[in-house]
Structure 1
């Protein structure tokens, strides 16, 4: 199995996070990383990009792409920005921040984001464990001011998806998706913890695709089976219902690949090869969409698929399906050369529109899950750092997660 593509793509991903950040030490937005490389979003930073980027710095140091000092200084400055300048509400940061001053990016303002804040905190946790000292102290200060209770609907025993200080919470994380990290961070909070039974609040819908039975996310986009796994190694634990979420993601990924291979809607992109697979939220010829694999929840439209495939979908599942994921990345590299750019793979491509379409950008969260999962596949570095933190240990313990094969 030719794995050279992993080194090429990992370096491209790292370069995005290192180069597309505010590096002006006098700026209040120092360390904020762009959401994507589109020309019209130069000032739009993403807190999720920063979360992935903080972990990317550690990988860059370990792979000798940057010096320890450079990585330390960038991390310290970034966390200082988020503690002193980044606009927030009860400790929750906004999805997008302006690069130059860390204020919310008004063009996309809705509310502070619980999931994006959690992704940011995951990156900060790994930084705290890797560097210690002042960086760990800054993480503690940022984490302790997050008021998880604000986002908790005690009547429904669910997290809100959004919260407005004037009108209260809205929407709910009521089905399984990418939010497992929120239960670890929220229950382990030393200042504003939510009850541990919140983990029991969301539905775990079991579906079957072919011979594969698993808990499915509503739209079937693979990022929902990846993001929490980029930091926490679910392979080694199961909950007190006997669920091993790592094994669940293995089945979900295999089913998603099979869905592309079965090609129920006869897309040209899918038909080119059995190695052409990968449905996730990404750029598309008609805008950013959450492409996904069936079976579909009644609330979802299966026809959101239009033939668009994203390398990050396969790459982000490399810990679950290494053979299939590496084969997909090699296929994209060898057979879709226009998909390769300065930061490795561009976000996505589509053979079902005329002319054939290739994204003109990379997106931080897609580069992030790709880089972290490649690193975890090769070394387990990010898993090890994250799981060594006292709050992460506490969260897993109070949620009742036990070593695999041992029930509470």
Structure 2
């Protein structure tokens, strides 16, 4: 009888929720339940975890308390763009009410309207005072890439509220004004046929960073071509970004064809954020120009990462069908842009999770492994932590805003296409894509 009682007790306990750390981890959720839970928990980074004065996204947040985090209230412009998109997901998923979402977004936009701008572009980092926090010695002015990530999100917010009540319409108009004030043409550095990443009123163009492809910055050229007030001619895209065709390559890895030279490398692929940041709003389904079919390109990019983890040529612990994906994230020593050609034994959950539209089955396996097997080693108050290494037995309890946002957004795009539909409904975006020679789904 004693043996039977213990067996029954174990059976009951195994069917209950498991308490791990400060979170309850449920076993055997359906795919839909698990996706929603991951989105909701990750959304907390941009809601409860937001910088309190602006309501915008922190650059990072450390839960491990290993050392005092003296930059936890620094606002990240690009991550804030991902954050405002996440609020729209939260409204639609009923994590918050429409009114709650509107109030936070109004707070965000009011802050951005008063914050430092440089020919309409925000800096990479912003203090809660609204003043620029230099990202580096020569980077104390406008950052056109981060601004483009932010405007991608704000355009989605504008489209979401433009036909709403009077307050919502006013917010849409306020965003429209900010959008029209970004002087993309200025960032051609005196009319050159390329866009420059940075400009400073103190040191001008000293950063000297013309942005050419292929990397995460496609959205900057799309936004510049779409601008109704400070647009660029098509040759800036074709001669600058696409390097007069030099952007192209033609090779296969693990049988997956690649047409775009990643950062000029003709026979390799980069970190997976390149297949994500520009496509949070820009829909890669059906998106083609003379250089690539972007759906095929991004899907193959993700599959190469997956197959690389299966092969695991460096024999790191834990790699496989349910633990894969390499991108820019925390690393065992600092920060690194992980990829198959820069494999340090570190897995970054955002890489596979934000690839969900491209690789739904492979990404789902990863989500289940993280949630059900690794549990509180990788799961905390704001969703999955930024990175881990089973080889190094390294599980830091830290978050980066620019990695958390794509998880929520790309899972939603894979489920409903919400942000893709909003962004692609923008008439200016369609005009810009037409100008550059794209075909796309409206």
Same fold (TM over 0.5): yes
1:336 aligns with 2:374: yes
- Residue in structure 1 matched with residue 434 of structure 2 by the alignment: 397
Whether 2:416 is the aligned partner of 1:379: answer yes
Alignment of 1:139-288 (within 5 A): 139-152=175-188, 157-165=193-201, 166-168=203-205, 170-201=208-239, 202=242, 203-214=247-258, 215-218=260-263, 220-239=270-289, 241=290, 243-270=292-319, 273-288=320-335
Give, in whole Å, the separation in 1 of the partners of 2:298 and 2:261: 9
Does residue 155 of structure 2 align to residue 125 of structure 1? yes
SS at the partner of 2:252? strand
Per the normalisation by structure 2, the TM-score is 0.82
Give the whole-Å Cα distance in 2 for the aligned partners of 1:360 and 1:310.
Answer: 13
| Secondary structure of 2:437 counterpart | coil
Q: Which runs of 4+ in 1 moved over 3 A?
A: 1-4, 106-109, 153-156, 164-167
From the superposition, tell whether residues 242 and 94 of structure 1 become closer, same or farther in structure 2 (CA, over 3 Å).
closer
1:14 is the counterpart of 2:43: yes
Report whether the alignment pairs 1:102 with 2:147. no
> Deviation of residue 161 (structure 1)?
2.6
Alpha-carbon RMSD across the aligned residues, in angstroms, is 1.9
Give distance in 1, aligned partners of 2:437 and 2:182. 23
Does the aligned pair in 2 maintain the 1:118–1:182 contact within 8 Å?
Answer: yes
Residue pairs, 1:15-30, within 5 angstroms: 15-24=44-53, 30=54
Task: Answer yes or no: is 1:31 the counterpart of 2:55.
Answer: yes
Distance 1:151 1:204 in 2: 25
1:311 aligns to what?
349
Q: Distance in 1 between matches of 2:327 and 2:33?
A: 24
1:346 correspondence with 2:390: no
Spell out, residue by residue over 1:80-123, the C-alpha distance to the aligned partner (whole angstroms, 9 max, x if none).
1111x211211111111112x12112465614211110111011
Structure 1 residue 31 displacement after superposition:
2.3
How many aligned positions are there?
383
Cα distance in 1 for partners of 2:360, 2:215 equals 22
- 1:297 alignment partner in structure 2: none
CA positional deviation for 1:189:
1.3
Equivalent position SS for 1:157: coil
Displacement of 1:148: 0.9
Contact 2:196 2:208 in 1 (8 A): yes
1:332-370 Cα deviation digits (max 9, x unpaired)? 2222221011111111101222xx101221111111111
Deviates more, 1:333-342 or 1:372-381: 333-342
Match of 2:81 in 1: 51
Question: In structure 1, what is the equivalent of residue 101 of structure 2?
Answer: 71
Q: What is the CA-CA distance between 1:52 and the residue it aligns to?
A: 0.8
**1-structure distance, mates of 2:329, 2:186:** 30
Of 343, 365, 368 in structure 2, the residue corresponding to residue 327 of structure 1 is 365
CA–CA separation in structure 1 for the residues paired with 2:313 and 2:237: 35
Cα shift readout 1:153-207 (whole Å, capped 9, x = no counterpart):
5776222232234332612222211112112210121221111122213223333
- Which ranges in structure 1 are unaligned for 5 or more consecutive residues? 25-29, 294-301
Match of 1:289 among 336, 347, 354: 336
Other-structure match for 1:299 = none
Cα pair distance change 1:242/1:49, threshold 3 Å: closer
Contact 1:207 1:216 in 2 (8 A): no
Matching of residue 138 in structure 1 with residue 174 in structure 2 = yes
Q: 1:254 and 1:216 mapped to 2: Cα distance?
A: 17
TM-score by length of 1: 0.89
The DSSP-based 3-state class of the residue aligned with 1:64 is coil
Q: CA deviation at 1:274?
A: 2.5
Segments of structure 2 that go 5 or more residues without pairing to the other structure are 1-29, 63-68, 163-168, 264-268
Change (3 A) 1:53 1:312: same
1:208 Cα offset (Å)? 2.0
Deviation at 1:71, TM superposition (A): 0.9
Q: Judging changes above 3 Å, is the alpha-carbon distance between structure 1 residues 3 and 62 closer, same or farther for their aligned structure 2 residues? A: closer
Aligned mates of 1:80, 1:245 — CA distance in 2: 35
